A and B are shown apart, each in its own frame.
Chain A
Amino acid sequence: MRQSRAIDISTGLFVLLGMTAIVFLVTQITNREFSLRSDSYRLTARFENIGGLKAGAPVSMSGVTIGRVESIGYDMDLYKAVVTLRIDASYDKIPNDSDASIYTAGLLGGQYIGMTPGNSEDVYRDGDTVEFVQDAVVLEKLISKYLFSQAGKDKAAEAPATQE
């Protein structure tokens, strides 16, 4: 009897340890957050181009994470990407002319939304739309712009030379 009780206890400990490990993996190393206090409000923002933004990406203000990207959809009337942001309810004094931009964290990092506070007296409420947005920077576009402008300069420099 004593022996089987010891086995029960060790088995229970083992199972508990395994479950703890699973919970640790799910909550601590994924971008999922199971907070008991899920008070938050939603904002929508429409972008021409969201680059590599994904649901679950952080929304930050001065580098502090204040919420997450909840979902990403596509508006067929405006032909724009619709991004729903879930902002933590404790950040409830964001002026309603604040802007949202898509940035990249480092060279290899993921993309996130950075918000800069505006000057308005009124604040954002649940369901509001962010009017001032800045799209994601697409590296290829930048490079091609740079290359074309370089090519234009070369031609401009060549033209007077041929006239001489």
Chain B
Amino acid sequence: MTGLLGEMADNLRGFLARLGALTRFFGQVLLISPTAVLRPRLVVEQVYNTGALSLVIIMTCGLFVGMVLGLQGHDLLQRFGSEDALGVGAALSLLKELGPVVTALLFAGRAGTALASELGLMRATDQLSAMEIMAVDPMRRVVVPRFLGGVIAMPLLTAIFIAVALFGVQLVGVQFLGVDQGSFWSQMRGAVELADVNEGLIKGVTFGIACSLIAVFEGYNAEPTAEGVGRATTRTVVISAVVTLVLDYILTALML
């Protein structure tokens, strides 16, 4: 019994230590971030790595999410005889929830793991220590550009995801299932406010900060072994997914 309690206390201590380290790491990253404008090339490269390379998976998934939404939404609304509201329902659910959340989950899976394993491998092969010996700050040179690249790429990916998904909804709803094109778009335009678009983009930025931070933190602090790198990658995906969903609830409650 005491063994169990002791283990729980240990776990709690470990969790708190990890949270504290993450917060301190976040502070360091934020402090160094403004200096990144001096070396914009590094950030641009990371926008390419996290953003442009995630584009294919984001667009493919967006299209299918939109098409499913079109099918399901049409089936649901048909029961109430209001298929014309498909545009409104799909646009609002994509802007406010599905877009940012699914993009963040895909981002964590595609870009987050790449960041974490890259940094973890750098740690395992002593590249980070080598930089320190050459008086190059790895935080400045490696971590912050990757973090900023992710933060810039996420809202853009979110917007692309939503736009492609709306195309998917339109494809299934209007082209296949015969919802009237005019009322589809006009009802959407009538009901969607600018604040809804803002909500989606704010969520995109927030999830971008959270997922990028977790990825670089886990990678940077990975155990310098093959197993440690693997564990850091796994943790990145798991923690990013949980944090994204928790943040989503908090943000929705704040902005509703």
Contacts and interface: CB of A to CB of B under 8 A. Distances in A.
A61 B45 CA distance: 54
Contacts of A56: 190, 193
A160 interface: no
Given A26-B194, A30-B197, A15 B156 contact: yes
Name, among A8, A19, A58, A108, the residue most crowded by chain B CB atoms within 10 Å (CB to CB).
A108
B157 to A, nearest CB: 7
Contacts of A13: 52
Interface stretch (B125-133, B160-168, B212-220, B243-251): B160-168
Contacts of A18: 51, 155-157, 159-160
Give the secondary structure class of B's interface: helix
Interface residues of B, number: 35
A25 interface: yes
A164 to B, nearest CB: 47
A10 B44 CA distance: 10
Name, among B84, B91, B160, the residue most crowded by chain A CB atoms within 10 Å (CB to CB).
B160
Name, among A10, A13, A30, A31, the residue most crowded by chain B CB atoms within 10 Å (CB to CB).
A30
A30 B187 CA distance: 10
A26 B91 CA distance: 12
B159 A22 contact: yes
A11 interface: yes
A106 interface: yes
A139 B194 CA distance: 29
A31 B192 contact: yes
Interface in B140-157: 153, 155-157
A58 B47 CA distance: 41
Interface string B197-211: 100110000000000
A21 B156 contact: yes
Contacts, number: 90
Contacts of A109: 187, 190
Contact of B190 (A4, A8, A57): A57
B156 A30 contact: no
Contacts of A15: 47, 51, 156
Nearest to B166: A29
Contact of B163 (A14, A24, A106): A24
A37 interface: no
Nearest to A23: B159
Interface of B: 41, 44-45, 47-48, 51-52, 55, 82, 84-85, 91, 95, 153, 155-157, 159-160, 162-163, 166, 185, 187-194, 196-197, 200-201
Given A105-B190, A109-B187, A110-B190, 10 more contacts: A17-B156, A19-B156, A20-B163, A22-B201, A25-B95, A26-B194, A29-B185, A29-B189, A31-B191, A56-B193
Interface of A: 4, 7-8, 10-11, 13-15, 17-22, 24-26, 28-32, 56-58, 105-110
10 contacts: A13-B52, A18-B159, A21-B156, A29-B185, A29-B192, A30-B194, A31-B190, A58-B190, A108-B82, A110-B190
